Amino acid sequence: MAKILNLFRWRRDRLERDLERELRYHIDRRVDDMMKTGLSETEARRQASIEFGGVAQVQEDVRDTWIWRSLDALALDVRYSIRGLVKSWGFALGAGAVLALGLGATVAVFSVVNTVLLQPLPYPDAERIVSVETFWTNTGRPSQDVSGPDFLDWQAQSDVFEKMAAYYGGDDFAAIVGDRALFANPRYVSADFFEVFSQNASAGRLLTKHDIPVGDAEPTVAVVRYHWALAHFGSAEVAIGKRITLYGNPLEIVGVAAPGFRYPGAADLWVPSHPGGDRSDHIYRAVGKLKAGVALTHAQAQIRTIGDILARQYPENRPKTATLIPLQERLTGNLKATLWVLMSAVGLVWLIACANIANLLLARATGRTREIALRTALGAGRGRVVRQLLTESSVLAGVAGLAGLLLASLLVRGLVALPPANLPGIDDMRIDLTVLLFAFGLSLVSTVLVGLVPALHGSRLDLSEALKQGGSKATASRASSRFRATLVVIEVALSVILLVAAGLLVRSFLALQHVDLGFTTNRVLTAFTDYAVDTEQEILIRAKVYTDVLDRLRAVPGVSAAAGIAFLPMGREPRAARDYFVEGRPEGQPGERPQAEVYAITSDYFKTLEIPLRAGRDFDRTDTPERPRVAIINESLAHDTFSSESPVGRHIRIGSRSPWMEIVGVVGDTRWQDPSHPAPAVIFVSSAQGAGKSLSILARTSLDEKSLASTLRALLHDANPTVPVRFETMEELFDFALAYPRFRTQVIGLFAAVAALLAAVGIFSVLAYLVGQRTREIAVRRAVGAQAADVIRLIVGQGLRLIAVGLILGLAGALAVARLLEGLLYEISPWDVGTYLGAIVVLGVAALVATLIPAIRAATIDPFIALQQE
Amino acid sequence: MASARFPIPQGTLDMLILRTLSLEPAHGYAIARRLQQISRDVVHVNQGSLYPALHRLEQKRWLKSEWRQSETGREAKFYSLTRAGHKQLAVEKASWDRLTASVRLIFNEGE
């Protein structure tokens, strides 16, 4: 910037020098010519000068033709504006801060929206990548979970895809890298996986169809994530050829993916596999890259047709067909609502900030009536005055824009650090060109919004009136008063909308936080482990090891109960519901069978989490692998399937070929996965009988949870050093489950608070200004006998009228937009009367305070002093 | 002789400058002198007003300028016509011709 200015200055200096030389040449020649006719040099110079008409004047006229002239005027305006703003630094600081806040918050939220929703996914031809999904015709919903055979049929029968791939996995697995036991997150992918994303390896090679194990063979190779390779081997090249063990299976690293490649988000390594299983096992997810030029609708129609044919062909497929969803939509779909709500909210805050500053500037412009009138009288054109005033708001908006951008970059860092960090692409979120342009545009719009109205007002002065009235007390024109009142009404209305939104979100968040989970979260340590097994023998050893560790853990002083469960709660490991069957009842059609989530647990699980036993008994030491299988169900399932009958003693099974299990107990419902969803039907099976896989260990303790962690780590290490373990408290898991609702509640709450504050300031500034304007009138009223109370009533009445109109408009607006929030609310209607009343009360009180202060100031005007000053 | 000397008519100075420079490049003083000579001292150009006009025409890219030695040996700023300047001169001459022709017609009619 300085460079450009210097360039300008340098060019202008040269022009000036040239001009001077040029004119001097002219006059010198003229003098020479005159001297030839016999005049003395002095006389010739005098005459030449007169004839020429004033060198300074000519220079000035010539300068006028240079375009630099307009730049000079601009520089002058800017300098003048800065001087003006510095002079009233309190105003400038306040207005600048408000605007910077509004701009910064808006830019920050926009940069998230930009990264997540607007930018394409970071893969070549990302717009052609789709998620190929099961469409459940009985529920009318698509699901990402697809079965292996379905996928193979789609792949074989469609011709709209360049490449298709299926993958499964999602849990962290026990891995051994070097001699360290740790967790790794693998995805088992079909041959063309990397081709769908058009990836190249950063070292080694990616997977090919020759890597796919045939029949029952285990995979032997893997491709790893770039940063994972870096973390464990130091560089991508070094990782090539290294052997790791994944859940007991040795793998050779043949390739490292490109540095930026992550799909799905959590995957550390990709292992080749051939899609298998049967048509009712929906463990895969499928992605495809459409051929160039194939329309999404065409591809959708084709895959639907194939799905419909399969539905007629196989009984398991009866309730389902197939569909396509753009991958980006699939990945960001559930965030869209939150982000757009945030974006709209922050937009409202920005608008309120603009309205507020427009108001302040208008007040200033009115206060400066005399100054502007004087400038106009001295010959400044209307355009010049508008330009001057606009320059002032531009300087303000420009500085605020820069500050806002700084603020935004801080806020963005904060946004990334906030809990819901698993937004796609959020890691590489930065302030890019789009965001910069957005910020610039927003500043520009702010300038116009904030500056144009006061500027036009200022330029439309009646000169003689303004000068005659004298002082800065010239009355505001009726139009400008009305305009300022409108601004205040808008501010109030927008704030009501934000307050209602915030109120609804806060109340549903509180409801979520206090929801009865059905178990106690405090003072529980969870330890996620993964114990690799292969043979039946090893499965039995594993069960024994866990039993021993739990027994030793229970013996630790301060541990009141300990148990194991095969899955961690709160959405960390989403569970698919499985069909179940009750002995003596018809099996039902696929897709219409009752479903339940299945958890393998040890004894004492209910005791540890303080889940009430409603009937029967807990699992105990008599439930050994040799004994008949037993199960415990929750109240939901008992109610759905057995209604008034007693379920204890009945038999149930999962899948149509597994052994029957006797129901030995009924326990209370728990919201184990998602606090906002009612408890699903659950079947608990005994891990001691060989069911399930590795356990997460839960311990209830009166000790500090973290100190117990090291004890437990040592116990596990003694039992089997190849088992990795990761600790969290149950509270942390619960917090994680509420991360999104908490995040949006906090942000919107903050926005609403700022908005309400700004609206109050707006009301205050309008009324305070009004009082200043009417000092004389009020003094006269007081002098002729009006009481202080009358004056207060007068001013408060003025304020209340604005507030009332704003509140009514705001309520109407809130009713209109509340519907958008519906999906984000929990146990509260978007038209909850209490929340609306609350918003009105909060804003009403704030506004009333804002009107009372100037009203009291008006009431304390001493008529004698006030009239004397006039 | 004041009555015989006209102030230059509004808007014609540009055309006169272009015309003068269409013969050969010249510096400001030479242009002023030549204007006076050609018009046989009838047209009076305010010497000062010549320079804003020259700069304006240069801004419009009808003239270009360079510093070079003048007949006295001193460096002077010489102006010359650009291609656009030549075109402009033709345009102005045509419209001037039309104007004078119609003015003459009006006067002849009155006689």
Q: State pLDDT tens for residues A655-665.
A: 777 889 999 99
CB contact under 8 Å between B29 and A30, yes or no, is yes
Pick from B46, B74, B77: CB nearest A18: B77
Q: Collect all residues of chain B within an 8 Å Cβ-Cβ radius of residue A58.
A: 48-49, 51-52
Tally Cβ neighbours within 10 Å of residue A831.
14
Tokens describing residue A709 = 């962690």
Q: Which of the four pLDDT bands, split at 50, 70 and 90, describes residue A474? A: very low
How many Cα atoms are found within 13 Å in the side-chain-facing hemisphere of A120? Answer: 11
3-state secondary structure of A244: strand
Residue A588's pLDDT is 79
Q: Collect all residues of chain A within an 8 Å Cβ-Cβ radius of residue B48.
A: 52-54, 57-58, 61
- How many angstroms separate the CA atoms of A17 and A11, rounded? 10
B69 touches chain A (CB under 8 A): no
pTM over 0.80: no
Q: Collect all residues of chain A within an 8 Å Cβ-Cβ radius of residue B52.
A: 58, 61-62, 64-65
Q: What is the mean pLDDT of residues A664-676?
A: 88
Nearest-Cα distance to chain B for A58, in Å, is 6
Q: Which residue of A has its CA nearest to B79?
A: A22
Residue A262's closest CA among A210, A223, A208, A204?
Answer: A223
Dihedral of alpha carbons A846, A848, A854, A859, sign? negative
**pLDDT tens-digit profile of A233-268?**
999 999 999 999 998 899 999 999 998 888 887 789
With 80 as the cut, is the pLDDT of residue A298 above it? yes
Residue A154's pLDDT is 96
Q: Is A40 left (phi over 0), alpha (psi -120 to 50) or beta?
A: beta
B75 touches chain A (CB under 8 A): yes
CB contact under 8 Å between A66 and B46, yes or no, is no
Print burial letters for A445-481: b (CB count within 10 Å at least 16), e (below 16): ebbebbbbbbbbbbbebeeeebbeeeeebbbbbeebb
A vs B: CB pairs below 8 A:
60
Q: Which residue of B has its CA nearest to A55?
A: B48
- How many angstroms separate the CA atoms of A308 and A330, rounded? 22
Q: Which residue of A has its CA nearest to B77?
A: A22
Three-point CA angle A174, A179, A182, nearest 5°: 25
CB contact under 8 Å between A64 and B52, yes or no, is yes
Print burial letters for A261-299: b (CB count within 10 Å at least 16), e (below 16): bbbeeebbbbbbbbbeeebbbbbbbbbbbbeeeeeeeeb
B55 touches chain A (CB under 8 A): yes
Q: What is the mean pLDDT of residues A153-182?
A: 90
DSSP secondary structure letter of residue A459: H
Contact residues for A736 (Cβ-Cβ < 8 A; gap 6+)? A419, A570, A571, A572
Arithmetic mean of pLDDT over chain A = 83
Tally Cβ neighbours within 10 Å of residue A822.
13
With 60 as the cut, is the pLDDT of residue A759 above it? yes
**Contact by Cβ (8 Å): A161, A289:** yes
Residue A664's pLDDT is 95
Q: Which residue of B has its CA nearest to A27?
A: B29
With 60 as the cut, is the pLDDT of residue A827 above it? yes
Q: pLDDT exceeding 90 applies to what percent of chain A? A: 27
Q: Which residue of A has its CA nearest to B33?
A: A30
- N-terminal to C-terminal alpha carbon distance within chain B: 28
With 50 as the cut, is the pLDDT of residue A456 above it? yes
B6 touches chain A (CB under 8 A): no
- How many angstroms separate the CA atoms of A115 and A426, rounded? 7
Nearest-Cα distance to chain B for A38, in Å, is 19
SS (HEC) of A320-363: EEEEEEEHHHHHHHHHHHHHHHHHHHHHHHHHHHHHHHHHHHHH
pLDDT higher at A765 or A100: A100
With 90 as the cut, is the pLDDT of residue B96 above it? no
Residue B3's pLDDT is 41
Nearest-Cα distance to chain B for A390, in Å, is 28
Q: Is A860 left (phi over 0), alpha (psi -120 to 50) or beta?
A: alpha
- How many angstroms separate the CA atoms of A100 and A404, rounded? 4
For chain A, counts of helices (H) and of strands (E): 26, 24
Nearest-Cα distance to chain B for A22, in Å, is 6
Residue A471's pLDDT is 43
Nearest-Cα distance to chain A for B111, in Å, is 40
**Contact by Cβ (8 Å): A33, A7:** no
Q: Collect all residues of chain B within an 8 Å Cβ-Cβ radius of residue A62.
A: 51-52, 55
> What are the CA-CA distances from residue A250 to residues A58, A253, A556 (Å)?
91, 10, 36
CB contact under 8 Å between A53 and B27, yes or no, is no
Q: What is the mean pLDDT of residues A191-199?
A: 93
- Which residues of A touch chain B, with CB atoms under 8 Å apart? 18-19, 21-23, 25-26, 28-30, 32, 51-54, 57-58, 61-62, 64-67
pLDDT higher at A508 or B12: A508
Helix, strand, coil % over all residues of chain B, rounded to 5:
60, 20, 25
- How many angstroms separate the CA atoms of A839 and A11, rounded? 60
Tally Cβ neighbours within 10 Å of residue B46.
14
For testing contact with chain B, the best of A12, A14, A26, A28 (most B CBs within 10 A): A26
Pick from A28, A53, A67: CB nearest B48: A53
**Contact by Cβ (8 Å): A481, A730:** no
**Contact by Cβ (8 Å): A254, A248:** no
Tokens describing residue A635 = 């109240």
For residue A443, how far is the Cα from the chain centroid? 22
CB contact under 8 Å between A66 and B76, yes or no, is no
Q: Which of the four pLDDT bands, split at 50, 70 and 90, describes residue A466? A: low
Residue B84's closest CA among B66, B61, B65?
Answer: B61
Residue A464's pLDDT is 55
| Strands A320-326 vs A129-136: parallel, antiparallel or unpaired | antiparallel
Using the structure block, give the residue that is written with the tokens 């520009």: A444
Q: Is B110 exposed, middle or buried (0-12, 13-18, 19+ CB in 10 A)?
A: exposed
Residue A380's pLDDT is 59
Nearest-Cα distance to chain A for B76, in Å, is 7
Q: Which residues pair with A601 in a beta bridge?
A: A565, A686
**Secondary structure element (H or E) that encloses residue A612, with its range:** none
Residue A749's pLDDT is 85
DSSP secondary structure letter of residue A116: I
Q: Collect all residues of chain A within an 8 Å Cβ-Cβ radius of residue B49.
A: 53, 58, 61
Q: Collect all residues of chain B within an 8 Å Cβ-Cβ radius of residue A22.
A: 27-28, 51, 76-77
Q: Collect all residues of chain B within an 8 Å Cβ-Cβ radius of residue A67.
A: 59
**pLDDT tens-digit profile of A1-24?**
455 556 566 777 888 888 888 888
**pLDDT tens-digit profile of A506-562?**
888 888 888 888 888 888 999 989 888 888 888 888 888 998 999 999 999 999 999
Nearest-Cα distance to chain A for B100, in Å, is 30
Lowest mean pLDDT among A12-26, A452-466, A492-506: A452-466
**Contact by Cβ (8 Å): A611, A569:** no
Backbone angles phi, psi at A202, to 5 degrees: -90, -20
